[in-house]
Each structure stands twice: as structure tokens, then as C-alpha cells.
Amino acid sequence: MVLGLRNFTERTGHGVGQPVLDIGNGEELMRVQPGVDIVLANRPRESHGTLYVSNKKLIWLSDVDEAKGYAVDFLSVSLHAVSRDPEAYPIPCIYTQVQIETEPDGDESDNSDSESNDTLDLSRIREMRLIPSDPNQLDSLFEIFCECAELNPEPNDEEGEEHEWIFSADQVVDEGDEDYISQSPAHAIGQSNGDHDIARTVLQLRIDDEVFEDAEEMEHDRNNTHN
């Protein structure tokens, strides 16, 4: 069952502490990241919150409103990626796509529903952005997302099955269209709910390629100087 994004307000310490976890089922905190804003679909940015990453789900709790918080299971996160392209979003962030239930006729409502209505239906939200106050935290957050996603594989995944991935939110053309995802490994910094070793490999190849190009350029300049 796809739970999607949902309200989460269960906190320890009389509503002012960390989120209440399902310890009985083995849930534990993996990362606490203060100073994270959240954007749901095309709605306004919600500021001053803390992101809690457990081995089961993502939890965002407002620092200014104890009654406001959201959670989504990693099983419902179909894509997560680092987005630094201002054309995709003006602020560096972690971009995620959330699986939602389909309507009885098989049609999915789009994100404009959440923007046009005063009542927010979290079950229809398909996109979420997490914006740390320190952009240098993006890569480490991405790594912990990858680790937790690996701990929560798709129930129908078979060992050795290839995963549909290579994603980059930097390559967004139309974020309302799921076909925006770039299939070019030269620019991919993202991962679906699957094996993240490929993501690291592609990223390392990209880095190695850039270092090689820099070395070639330096050698070319040195030769020109001697001539």
C-alpha cells in the first residue's frame, strides 16, 4: 500500500522534542538535520524546521508550529536527487518524487490541486523539496537518503533486477511531467528506490573525467609556453 506524504505531529517531550518513532518495529534515527525548509508541490516554502531521517521514513517538523509536521516512508519515495540548477529551482535542495494512490478512474491529480485549494490534500502531493540552510549539507543528506532507500527496497524487487534510475533534478524541464528525467549518466546525481552503488560509480566517473580534462589542458598550456 502506498501511503504517500502525510501529517506527522507525534513528538516526544510534550510536543517540543524529536518525533516519536516506531521503535517496536526497529525504527531508529539515522540523521537529524536542523535548519531545513520544505516545499510541497508548488506551494510556498515553509521555513524553520528540522529534518529527521530514520531507517524507515523522512520526517520534517516545524520549529515554530508544534502542530505542523510531515512524514513519508522511503517505500513511497520513488526518486530523490540533488538539485543545484536555478532553472529547476532557485535554491539548492534535495528534490524528491512521492508515489501516490491513483483515483478510481486511474487518473492522478496533479500538483496544481494543492496550489489552488485552501485545503491541502497531502495524499495528492507528488513532489517535495528539502532546503537545508547550509547547501554544503546536500551531498551528505543525499548519501543518507541512498543508504535508507537501500534498506527499504521495493517489495517486488527481485535480487539482481535492474533498477530504473538515472535521475537528476538539475535536468528538469517540466517537473509536472515524469518524463523530464535525464537518462544521461554524464549529468546524473540522483537515485531511485534501488541500488545506489551505481550512482556513486557514475559520479566518480564524472569527477575522474573532469580531472583528466584539467590535466590535458594544463599539459597543453605548458607546451605552448615552451614553444
Which amino acid, 88? A
Grid coordinates given for 146: 541512498
Distance CA 36, CA 127 (A): 16
Does the pLDDT of residue 14 top 50, yes or no?
yes
Q: What angle do CA 61, 67, 73 make, to 5 degrees?
A: 45
Its pTM stands at 0.70
Distance CA 93, CA 86 (A): 10
Please, which pLDDT band fits residue 136 given cuts at 50, 70 and 90? very high
**DSSP states of 165-203 as a string?**
----GGG-S-TTSGGG----TTS--EEESS--HHHHHHH
Q: What confidence score (pLDDT) does residue 171 get?
A: 47
3-state helix, strand, coil in the chain (%, to 5): 30, 25, 45
Does the pLDDT of residue 17 top 70, yes or no?
yes
Most confident of 129-133, 163-167, 214-218: 129-133
Rounded to an integer, what is the distance from CA 214 to the centroid of its chain? 31
The predicted-structure confidence for 38-96, as pLDDT tens digits, reads as follows 999 999 999 999 999 999 999 999 999 999 999 999 999 999 999 999 999 999 999 99
Which amino acid, 83? S
Per the CB < 8 A criterion, the answer to whether 80 and 95 are in contact is: yes
Q: What confidence score (pLDDT) does residue 180 get?
A: 41
Distance CA 195, CA 179 (A): 21
Task: Report CA-CA distances (Å) from 111 to 25, 87, 116, 177.
Answer: 33, 19, 9, 11
The predicted-structure confidence for 175-206, as pLDDT tens digits, reads as follows 444 444 433 333 335 665 544 444 444 344 44
